[in-house]
Amino acid sequence: MTIRFDGRVAIVTGAGNGLGRSHALGLAARGAKVVVNDLGGARDGNGGSLLAAEAVAKEIRDLGGEAIANGANVAVYEEVEAMFAQAKAAWGRVDILIANAGILRDASFSKMPLSDFWTVMDVHVKGTVNCLKAVWETMREQKYGRIILTSSASGIYGNFGQSNYGAAKAAMVGLMNVLHQEGQKVDIRVNVLAPTAATRMTEGLIPPNVQPLLAPETVTPGVLFLASEQAPSKVILGAGCGVFARSYIYETEGVYLPEEERTPEGVAAHFEAISDPSVQHVLEGATQQTMRFVTKASAAH
């Protein structure tokens, strides 16, 4: 099975460098027409230059592909709408969205200004939602869409000094879970990438001797699979160093407590059994948890 993107149109945000650049080049190499979006700012996200985006778009065109450079700030919906309109005007459709743009403002929570918390949330959460909103109706009308949201191990598992980034990246999983359900009937498949790579955002955070292993190109094959016609949906795919893994959210079997034990002390007494991982379930939606609990309580009665 060869994965190709001939006739498909992709928008990749934060594509002027690092992971986004690698994803854009990978899509174009397999036939996609690509909007290369990058704000062109410094590490803190401030700035505004098309130089980085245009360099990647030119690289694609020089290799015989089709690409447009775009400098929209994803946190500003009007700019995102204009980017989407640019893609539609040029190629008539949008099939793939890779929401990759991001910034870091690391500090322990006690030392972090609230402004830094909300700035990171604006770029990662508001910026992603803006892009989703811009493409969603067209993908529904087309009855086709492939969406990759960018999360992080910091959001899934935690990382000291990244409460803002972790909160934003955990939000990507919630977005995926709901949009997967809403897009199923019209073949919109929504997945989450949790990458580990040496990029401009991680300068100074990763030891130099390890950086060659963490090249962005070691992540992109997973993205191309998630963007393909054969893609699954509602998958959290970890990727880095050429290693690919899948993360799941499990729920234990649970313990029914009769009314006389339904106290804080009762929960404490049974907490080991409540936490028992030997029987775990992957739930497909919130109502499945409700029905599990109702079924378990009914059986106890």
Q: What is the tens place of the pLDDT at every residue in 2-35?
A: 999 999 999 999 999 999 999 999 999 999 999 9
> Residue 1 — very low, low, confident or very high, per pLDDT cuts 50/70/90?
confident
Instruction: Name the active-site residue from 144, 157, 165, 248.
Output: 165
SS (H, E, C) 96-138: EEEECCCCCCCECCCCCCHHHHHHHHHHHHHHHHHHHHHHHHH
Cβ–Cβ < 8 Å for 214, 197: yes
pLDDT, tens digit, 9 for 90 and up, residues 212-251: 888 999 999 999 999 999 999 999 999 999 999 999 999 9
**Residue 191: pLDDT over 80:** yes
Q: Residue 212 has what pLDDT?
A: 81
**pLDDT classification of 42: cutoffs 50, 70, 90:** very low
Q: Is 250 considered catalytic here?
A: no
**What average pLDDT score do residues 275-292 get?**
93
Chain centroid to CA 154:
13
pLDDT at residue 43 in the model: 42
Please give the full DSSP string across 123-186, using - where no structure is assigned.
IIIIHHHHHHHHHHHHHHHHT-EEEEEE--HHHHT--TTBHHHHHHHHHHHHHHHHHHHHHGGG
pLDDT tens for 74-132 read 999 999 999 999 999 999 999 999 999 999 999 999 999 999 999 999 999 999 999 99
Superfamily of domain 9-247: NAD(P)-binding Rossmann-like Domain (3.40.50.720)
Per-residue pLDDT at 44? 42
Report residue 248 as tokens. 């799941």
Both structure tokens of 135: 């493409």
Domains in the chain: boundaries:
9-247, 250-300
pLDDT of 67 higher than 50 = yes
- Residues of the chain with pLDDT > 90, as a percent, come to 88
